Amino acid sequence: MIYITTPIYYPNDRPHIGHAYTTIMADTFARWNRLAGEEVFFLTGTDEHGLKLQREAEKRGMDPKKFVDEMSSIFKEYWRLLNISYDRFIRTTDEDHVQTVKRALEKLYSKGLIYRGVYRGWYCTSCEKFLSSDEYIEKDGKKICPIHGKELDYVEEETYFLKLSLYEDFVKDALRKDIVYPPSYAREILSKIEKEGLRDISITRPKNRVYWGIEAPWDPNHTVYVWIDALLNYVTAAGYLESSEKFLRIWPSAHHFIGKDILWFHTAIWFALLRMLDLPLPRRVIVHAFIVLRGRKIGKSAGNVVPIEALIERYGSPDAVRYLLLRFSSLEKDVEFGFDQMDAAYNSELADTLGNLVRRLGVLAKKKLSGVVERSDIDRDLEDKVINSVKKAQSLMNELRFSETLVAIFDIFREVNAYLNRTEPWREERPRRSLYNAFEALRIGTVLLYPFMPSTAERIAKALGFEIKSFEELEMGMRDTYNVAEAPILFRKVREGQ
C-alpha cells in the first residue's frame, strides 16, 4: 500500500504551471508505483477556507461557497486535461473533512492542549501565516513578505493557541528520521528550531474577521485557522472517521509531495499535530524547489504566472507538458523557466529521438514485413544496454530523480536508434531480427515512459500492437508478435526561439 498526496491548492485562481509541477510529479510517482504492482491511493484537492478565499470571493461579490464550487471544478478540469489519475479529489468543504477537523480539535481541546490568549503580529494573507521578525523584510518602514513581496497586515486579536512548544523534542527527533526527503530540508527546519525554539501557534480566528472557516467546536465565535484545517485533509481522506483498520492500513504509508514553501507546516506543525492526536507520522515528505522566472518564484502574487495553456498550446499536447516540466525538475534547486531550453528538448528528445523512432519502426514494419513483426533471437549487445538503462531508471526513480530518470529512459530510445543505424534494416528484404529487437527495446522504454506520458505511451502501444501492463514486462523477448496498426507522427516540431 502506498498513499500519495499533493498539497491541496488554494482555489483563489486557476492553477498555473507551479501547481501542475507538484501534481504531475505526484501523479508520475503514483503511476510508477501502480505499474510496479503496488496498491496506490492518490489524493489531491483544494484548500477552500480562510481569509485569502474569503477576500477573493468578496472582491468578486460572490458567496464564498459558490466561488469555491466554481473554482474547484476548474482545478478538476485542468487535472483531467493533464491526465492526473487521482483516486479522490478532496475539498475542505466536504462534510467528512469538516467532521474530521471538529473531531480532531475536540480531542486536542479535551487533552488540554489548547488555551486562550491574545495574538499580536504581522500576517501575510497570501501565505496565510504570521511572519516573525526573522522572516519578514523591512522596506521603507514597511514589513514585506519575502515570498509574495506584499505588505503584511498587523493583527492583534483574541485567539486560541496550540501548545506546540511541548513537542519541540519530538519534532526534532522526527526530523532526524528519514522522513523528509531530500534530507537537506530536514536540516533546514532543525536549525530553525534550534535557533528559535518551537513556539505555540495561534489556531483560531475571531469569526467576525474570518467567518469563512470551520467553527471551533468549543467556541462558536472562532473559526479554525486554515492551515490546521488544511493539514488534516490528509487524514480525512485516509479514513480518520471510518474504521481504524482502514485508516491504519493506509495512513502510515503516506508520501506527501510538497513545494519547499510549505515545509514548515508539513514538518514542525504537522508532526506535532499528529503526535498530539496519537497518530503515526507519514512515511515521507518529499520536497521540491520552485520554478522561477528571472529568479522569482512563479505565482499570482509575483505577477509572473505561466499558464498551463501556454505550454499545451506551444507543445501541442498535455503529455509534452508533463514531460517538459519533469525533464527540467529538481528537488534541491530552483529551476529557471525558459521556452528556449524546453523548445530544444521538445524538438530533439520528443520529436527526433522518440517521435522519429516510432514513425520509422512503424513504416519499416509495414513496408518490409506487412505489419507483422515476429519473434526472433535476441541481440545480446542491445539487450545488455537496454537492461542497464532499465536498472538505472529504476534506481534513479527510487531516489525520486525525475529528470535523470527520463534521461535514462531516453537512453533506451537513443540506443534503438543507434541499433537501427548499425543493422540497417532498410537494406534487407525481410529484416525480421533487427525489427523484432528494436520493437522489444522500444516496448520496454515505452512501459517505463508510461507514468510520465501516459497518453503517448498508450498511443505507441496501440499503434505498434502491444499492451502496457506492469513492470514485470521489462525484459527482452517477452512478446511473440507485433501487429502494427499504424506509423503515427507523435510530435510536430516547434520553431525554436519564437
101 binds ligand MSP (CB under 6 A): no
Which CB, 162 or 298, lies closer to ligand MSP? 298
Q: In this chain, which of 291, 390, 449, 487 binds ligand MSP, going by CB under 6 A?
A: 291
Q: What is the DSSP string of 334-398?
A: -EE--HHHHHHHIIIIIIIIIIIHHHHHHHHHHHHHTTEEE-----HHHHHHHHHHHHHHHHHHH
**216 residue type, one letter:** A
Residue 302, all three cell numbers: 509575483
Subset of 25-54 contacting ligand MSP (CB under 6 A): 47
CA–CA gap between residue 358 and residue 375 (Å, rounded): 19
Residue 127 among the catalytic residues: yes
Q: How far is the CB of 346 from ligand MSP (least distance, A)?
A: 20
Give yes or no: 297 in active site: yes
Q: Name the residue with cell 497518453.
A: 455
Contacts of 191 (CB under 8 A, 6+ apart): none
Identify whether 124 is a catalytic site residue.
Answer: yes
For residue 277, the 8-state DSSP code is T
Residue 78 as a binder of ligand MSP (CB under 6 A): the answer is no
Q: Do 69 and 142 form a contact (C-beta atoms < 8 A)?
A: no
What amino acid is encoded at 414 in this protein? R
297 binds ligand MSP (CB under 6 A): yes
Total number of residues that touch ligand MSP (CB under 6 A): 21
Catalytic residue among 49, 145, 256, 288: 145
Q: Is the Cβ of residue 181 or residue 471 nearer to ligand MSP in the bound state?
A: 181
Q: Which residues pair with 121 in a beta bridge?
A: 155
Give backbone dihedrals phi and psi of 214, rounded to 5 degrees, phi first: -85, 130
- By CB neighbour count within 10 A (0-12 exposed, 13-18 middle, 19+ buried), where does 231 fall? buried
Q: What's the rounded Cα separation, in Å, for the pair 53 and 424? A: 62
Catalytic residue among 49, 52, 97, 124: 124
Closer of 19 and 368 to ligand MSP (Cβ): 19
Q: Which is nearer to ligand MSP, 270 or 410 (CB)?
A: 270
Q: With contact defined as beta carbons under 8 Å apart, do 296 and 373 qualify? A: no
8 binds ligand MSP (CB under 6 A): yes
Nearer Cβ to ligand MSP (163/300): 300
User: In the annotation, is 266 catalytic?
Assistant: no
Nearer to ligand MSP, 228 or 441 (CB): 228
Binder among 2, 4, 9, 311 for ligand MSP (CB under 6 A): 9
Q: How many angstroms separate the CA atoms of 42 and 93, rounded?
A: 19
Q: Is 18 in the site for ligand MSP (CB under 6 A)?
A: yes
Paired with 153 in beta bridges are 123
DSSP character at residue 222 = E
Of 27, 48, 94, 261, the one binding ligand MSP by CB under 6 A: 261
> Which residue minimizes CB distance to ligand MSP?
18
Stretch that binds ligand MSP, among 15-23, 133-141, 388-396, 441-449 (CB under 6 A): 15-23
Residues 210-249 touching ligand MSP, rule: CB under 6 A, are: 230-231, 233
Which sequence positions are flagged as catalytic? 16, 19, 124, 127, 145, 148, 297, 300
Q: Which residues bind ligand MSP (CB under 6 A)?
A: 7-10, 18-19, 21-22, 47, 230-231, 233, 258-259, 261-262, 290-291, 297-299
